């Protein structure tokens, strides 16, 4: 795989997870926005993990 593509994919996943993590401090637990934010955080972390696994596998 092209290293630039995997770097950009990891950066996108990190951005999503980071922003969602920061927003957790400003949202009230139990609200709809909080649930969506937690889902975004999980999605960003899972995406970063998948990118890391793919990079290690094809290296």
Task: Name the token pair of 41.
Answer: 């955080």
Cα separation, 56 vs 7, in Å, equals 13
pLDDT of residue 57: 92
Class of residue 39 by CB neighbours under 10 A (exposed 0-12, middle 13-18, buried 19+): exposed
| Per-residue pLDDT reduced to its tens digit, 25-59 | 999 999 999 999 999 999 999 999 999 999 999 88
**How many domains does the chain fold into?**
1
- The parent domain of residue 52 ranges over 3-57
The 10s digit of each residue's pLDDT in 7-25 is 999 999 999 999 999 999 9
Q: What is the model's pLDDT at position 3?
A: 87
């Amino acid at each position: 795989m092209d290293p630039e593509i995997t770097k950009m994919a990891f950066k996108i996943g990190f951005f999503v997870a980071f922003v969602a993590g920061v927003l957790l401090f400003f949202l009230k637990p139990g609200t709809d926005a909080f649930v969506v934010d937690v889902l975004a955080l999980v999605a960003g972390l899972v995406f970063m993990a998948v990118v890391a696994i793919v990079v290690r596998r094809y290296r």
